[in-house]
Chains A and B, each alone.
Chain A
Amino acid sequence: MLTGNGFKKVFNVSGGIKAWHSKTAIGPQDLGIDLFNSNEEPLEVLKVAYSMEQGLREFYLTLGKDSRNEKVKALFSKLADIEIKHQISIYSSYTDLSPDKPSKDEFEKMVEARALEGGLSTKEYLDLFKPDLNSPTDVISLAMSIEAQALDLYQRVSTKIVNKESKDVINKIANEEKVHLASLGRLMDSL
């Protein structure tokens, strides 16, 4: 149907979702979209994204504190550090675009914590994936699920956002999530 209607390049993913071994995302198409307004200015988009990364970082830190397994503790701290890198990148995009150039502290005061990265709450993630928090493999798998969910959310938001600059900002963050997901995959393989 697509090729007959002018679509230039169409690929059939053979085996469909059953053959898909990488992380998948869950939820309806509008899950988490309400965190972003479709008319949102790029600076507002960056604030929402920052608050989600912050939420995830705190989530990892809390889980790390609760774990008794030293290897897992170290892993959570590593995951939390990666979120700092994302936050720095988002803050740097904000200062590039903002005429006010707020300091990082000033910027953080403007950001309100709304939801975890990917649009679900901490409890929803834990209920959903039921990870064994003393197993490094389970912990990375949880992180990969969250990143897949985040990548999915950013890409769905990107199709809804009208403002071109906001769209670029979201696409940049989505592509960073993709790289992050791939690096978690490598970490999993190294265990």
Chain B
Amino acid sequence: MKWTQFFTPAQSLNYNEAESYISQHPGEEITILDVRQPSEYQESHIPGATLIPLPELSDRLTEIDPEKPTLVY
């Protein structure tokens, strides 16, 4: 078991910080990860967000690049 996952909380960005982070980085250099359900994504999502619903995340981690900064919501 990888215990680190319980002890390394992700840093939080508020709306202003997230918005400015996204606008300062070209889309291909960051991942915006939407972990909600597909129906929620369909209704509204941050432009460019990749959808991987939380229940599927552990099985689909290989679909995103761990080297890129990842903004999760």
Contact = CB atoms under 8 A, between A and B. Distances in A.
A182 B23 contact: yes
Contacts of B58: 1
A18 to B, nearest CB: 9
A51 interface: no
Contacts of B64: 7
B34 to A, nearest CB: 8
A174 interface: yes
A15 interface: yes
Contacts of B4: 3-4
B27 to A, nearest CB: 5
A171 B19 contact: no
Given A3-B10, A11-B10, A23-B47, 7 more contacts: A3-B8, A8-B67, A10-B10, A11-B70, A19-B15, A25-B44, A159-B50
Interface of A: 1-17, 19-29, 148-149, 151-152, 154-156, 158-159, 167, 171, 174-175, 178, 181-182
Interface of B: 2-6, 8-15, 18-19, 21, 23, 26-28, 33-34, 36, 38, 40-51, 57-58, 61, 64, 66-73
